[in-house]
Structures are given as structure tokens and as C-alpha cells.
């Protein structure tokens, strides 16, 4: 009986593992924050243009809209689902906003577009909650319906004629900070407060963690589900309006990558698709990590063909590290 002692004492644990474990213990997002900080630092040292305010404002400008979508996506992912229709909703709302703004007026256009987003989101939630359909199928379906309807209605023609003044919302700055970023920040605060302080927010975690337990515990699961998807749709609608404000054109073919980008941002932020957990900080960090990566590639003159590949690797690596740690920490 030879006693081969298996140890995992600190002395024998490799440094990198100790570091990642220490970071991981404080939640996936601090690990991500570390990666993001490293990335920013290396960019600052190697690419002087990166650190200029013009570039930073540019990064903020370009990523705030997808960040807003990601905030809604976060809620749906915590609930244990997701929404593939946010891109279609964004395109729809930007076209709708453009049309109403041109024919009626700006406030009416904004309200109509956001309400349309809310309606599609609520419909998604109703299908999921009341018919028990899977979010994948439901939102794939609505995505197709909305997009199809949009192309029928517009004959795939963009809508022009939005007044110059409206684009100030999308491109303007206040004290050097893009207005869209200020709106994004407001959305982040609202979602953060909802998850932390509201009963609805606490229910979202419970339903996402264990639907049956929440139901038996007296939670109105259908209502929570519909509400969550409605918020997701509303934010997608808002993002569509801001997209219109940036481009000045209601483009039916726009926003086709939103769903996957938003999901990517949330999961890169360390939120598992299995539901029940997740924080707003994850959506924000994930959004900017992906944004900074693509900005860095741009600044360094890397062909745009490379970008999806690099983004893909970032997702695999970030989520890979996170899952690896989860597995180590977990244990039945």
C-alpha cells in the first residue's frame, strides 16, 4: 500500500490557475474586466490613436446601441431564454419611426416605434409563457414574420427624409459624450435597478433558476415571462430608433446581426445561457470587450474579413475560461 498523496496545495498550483481562481471567485465579470483592462492597456501602449478621446468617443458611439439591445437580452437570458427577433424588431422600428416622423412628427415616430417593439416582445413572451413554446422557435418565427412583413411593406426600399435635426440624437454629443451613450447609461441604470430593487426583477431570477419552484412558490410565471420579453422588445425598438437617428435612413435590411451580437456580448460577460444568474455589468463589459476588439483591429488596419473570426475566438476564449472555472468551482 504505497501512499501516493494527491495534493492540490497552493505550492503546487500553477500561478495562472491561482490568479484565475481568485478572479473567478469574484464572479465571471471581474475576470472579464481584467481582460478588458489588459486589452485597453496594450492598445494604449502600442497604438497612440487608441487613447485619443476622439477614438474613445467613437467606440462609445458605435457600441451603445448594441449595448442597449444586450441589456434586454440579458433579462431574457436570466429568464432562461433569449430573443432572436431583436434585429428584425430594430429594423422594423427604424423604418416605422422614419415613416411616421416624415408623415406625422418626431415624437409620434419615436413612440410608435418603441411601442411596436414592445408589442412584438410581448407577443414573443406570450407564445413562450402561454403555449410553452421554446424561445428559439418563437423568436425565430417572429423574426421571420416581422422581417417578411417589413419587406412586403417597403418593397425593400429604404425610407428617406428624416429631418436633419433628428440625427442630432444619434450623432450629437453633450460635453463630448455621445447622446446615445448617455441613453445607454440610463438604460443600464434602469435595468440594474429593476433587477436589484423591483419584485419583478427578483422574480426574473427565480423563474430563470427554477420555473417549477417559482410557480409553486406563488410567482405569476406567465406574467413575468411576458414582461421580460416585452422589455427586451421595447429596448430593441428603442435601439432601432437610435439607429435611425445615426443613419438618417430607415433601412429594412439593417440590424441583421443584432441578435447574435447581443447574445455574444452577454455570454462573453460571463452569463450562462442556462438562466437564473447574470448581472448588468456583464452585458456592459461584454459589449465593450467585443467593441474594443473590433476597434483595435480597425486601428491596426486588419482587414474587416478577419473581424468575425477574431470576434469568434474572443467568444470562445472568454466563455471557455469562464465555463472552465465554473466547472472547477462547482461540483454537484
Partner 1 sequence: MLTMTQIRKSFGGIEVLHGVDFTVEPGQVHALVGHNGAGKSTLMKVLGGLYHDYSGTITLDGRTQHLRTPKESLDAGVAIIYQDFALVPDLDVAHNIALGREPGGRGWGGVAHRALARRSAQEAERFGITLPMTTPVRRLGVADQQLTEIVRALARDVSYLVMDEPTARLAPAERAQLFRIIAQLAERGVGVVYISHFLDEVVEVADVVTVLRDGAVRAVGPASDWTADTLARELVGEDEIGDRPVVPAPGGPAAPARSETGAGAARLEVRALAVEGRPPTDLTVAAGEIVALAGLVGSGRTRWARALIGDLRTEGRVLVDGRPLGRRNPRTSARAGLLLVPEDRKVNGLVLTGSVRENIELTALGTHLSRGGLVRLATVDRVVRDLLARFRVLPPRPEILTKNLSGGNAQKVLVARAVAARPKAIVLDQPTAGVDIGAKAELHTQVRSMAAAGTAVVVISDDLDEMLDLADRVVVLANGQMIQDAPAASFDRASLLAAMSRTAVA
158: helix, coil or strand? coil
Q: Which of 106, 182, 215, 256 binds partner 1 (CB under 8 A)?
A: 215
Q: Per CB under 8 A, does 202 bind partner 1? A: yes
Q: Per CB under 8 A, does 271 bind partner 1? A: no
**Rounded distance, CA 115 to CA 117, Å?**
5
Stretch binding partner 1 (CB under 8 A), from 3-11, 63-71, 94-102, 121-129? 3-11
Cell numbers that stand for 7 in this block: 495534493
**Cβ closest to partner 1, residue 160 vs residue 197:** 197
Cα torsion 175, 161, 111, 134: sign: negative
Stretch binding partner 1 (CB under 8 A), from 96-104, 134-142, 217-225, 247-255? 217-225
Q: Which of 155, 165, 303, 331 binds partner 1 (CB under 8 A)?
A: 331
Q: Per CB under 8 A, does 165 bind partner 1? A: no
Cell numbers that stand for 160 in this block: 428617406
Per-residue contact string for residues 18-37; x = within reach of partner 1 by CB under 8 A: -------x------------
**Rounded distance, CA 306 to CA 301, Å?**
11
Q: Which of 161, 172, 176, 217 binds partner 1 (CB under 8 A)?
A: 217
**Cβ closest to partner 1, residue 304 vs residue 327:** 327
* Residue 234: exposure state from Cβ atoms within 10 A (0-12, 13-18, ≥19): buried
Of 84, 151, 156, nearest in space to 121 by CA: 84
Q: Which of 275, 287, 288, 321 binds partner 1 (CB under 8 A)?
A: 275
Q: Per CB under 8 A, does 216 bind partner 1? A: yes
Q: Per CB under 8 A, does 277 bind partner 1? A: yes
Q: Per CB under 8 A, does 329 bind partner 1? A: yes
Pairing of strands 177-178, 173-174: antiparallel
Q: Which of 200, 256, 297, 299 binds partner 1 (CB under 8 A)?
A: 200
304: helix, coil or strand? coil
Non-local CB neighbours of 129 within 8 Å, separated by 6+ positions: 221, 222, 223, 225, 226
**Cβ closest to partner 1, residue 141 vs residue 209:** 209
Judge whether 241 and 160 are in contact, CB under 8 Å.
no
Instruction: Find residue 177's DSSP bridge partners.
Output: 174
Q: Per CB under 8 A, does 248 bind partner 1? A: no
Backbone torsion region of residue 176, taken as left when φ is above 0, otherwise alpha when ψ lies between -120 and 50, otherwise beta: left
Q: Per CB under 8 A, does 328 bind partner 1? A: yes
Cell numbers that stand for 30 in this block: 471581474
- Residues lying near partner 1 in the complex (CB under 8 A) are found at 1-9, 25, 197-203, 205-206, 208-210, 212-220, 274-277, 328-332
Amino acid at each position: 500500500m504505497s501512499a501516493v498523496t494527491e495534493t492540490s496545495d497552493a505550492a503546487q498550483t500553477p500561478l495562472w490557475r491561482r490568479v484565475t481562481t481568485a478572479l473567478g471567485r469574484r464572479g465571471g465579470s471581474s475576470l472579464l474586466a481584467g481582460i478588458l483592462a489588459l486589452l485597453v492597456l496594450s492598445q494604449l501602449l502600442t497604438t497612440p490613436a487608441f487613447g485619443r478621446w476622439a477614438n474613445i468617443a467613437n467606440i462609445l458611439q458605435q457600441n451603445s446601441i448594441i449595448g442597449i439591445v444586450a441589456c434586454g437580452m440579458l433579462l431574457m437570458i436570466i429568464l432562461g431564454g433569449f430573443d432572436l427577433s431583436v434585429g428584425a424588431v430594430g429594423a422594423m422600428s427604424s423604418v416605422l419611426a422614419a415613416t411616421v416622423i416624415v408623415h406625422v412628427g418626431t415624437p409620434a415616430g419615436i413612440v410608435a416605434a418603441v411601442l411596436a417593439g414592445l408589442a412584438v416582445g410581448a407577443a414573443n413572451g406570450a407564445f413562450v409563457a402561454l403555449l410553452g413554446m421554446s424561445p428559439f422557435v418563437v423568436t425565430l418565427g417572429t423574426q421571420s414574420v416581422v422581417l417578411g412583413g417589413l419587406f412586403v411593406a417597403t418593397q425593400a426600399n429604404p425610407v428617406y427624409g428624416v429631418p436633419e435635426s433628428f440625427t442630432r440624437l444619434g450623432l450629437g454629443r453633450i460635453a463630448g459624450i455621445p447622446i446615445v451613450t448617455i441613453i445607454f447609461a440610463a438604460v443600464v441604470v434602469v435595468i440594474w435597478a429593476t433587477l436589484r430593487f423591483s419584485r419583478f426583477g427578483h422574480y426574473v431570477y427565480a423563474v430563470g433558476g427554477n420555473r417549477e419552484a417559482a410557480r409553486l412558490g406563488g410567482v405569476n410565471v406567465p406574467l413575468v415571462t411576458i414582461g421580460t420579453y416585452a422589455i427586451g422588445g421595447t429596448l430593441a425598438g428603442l435601439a432601432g430608433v437610435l439607429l435611425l437617428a445615426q443613419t438618417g435612413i430607415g433601412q429594412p435590411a439593417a440590424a441583421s446581426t443584432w441578435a447574435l451580437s447581443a447574445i455574444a456580448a452577454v455570454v462573453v460577460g460571463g452569463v450562462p445561457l442556462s438562466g437564473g444568474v447574470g448581472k448588468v455589468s456583464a452585458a456592459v463589459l461584454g459589449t465593450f470587450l467585443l467593441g474594443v476588439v473590433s476597434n483595435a483591429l480597425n486601428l491596426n488596419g486588419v482587414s474587416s474579413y478577419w473581424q468575425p473570426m477574431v470576434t469568434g475566438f474572443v467568444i470562445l476564449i472568454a466563455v471557455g475560461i469562464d465555463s472552465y472555472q465554473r466547472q472547477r468551482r462547482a461540483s454537484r
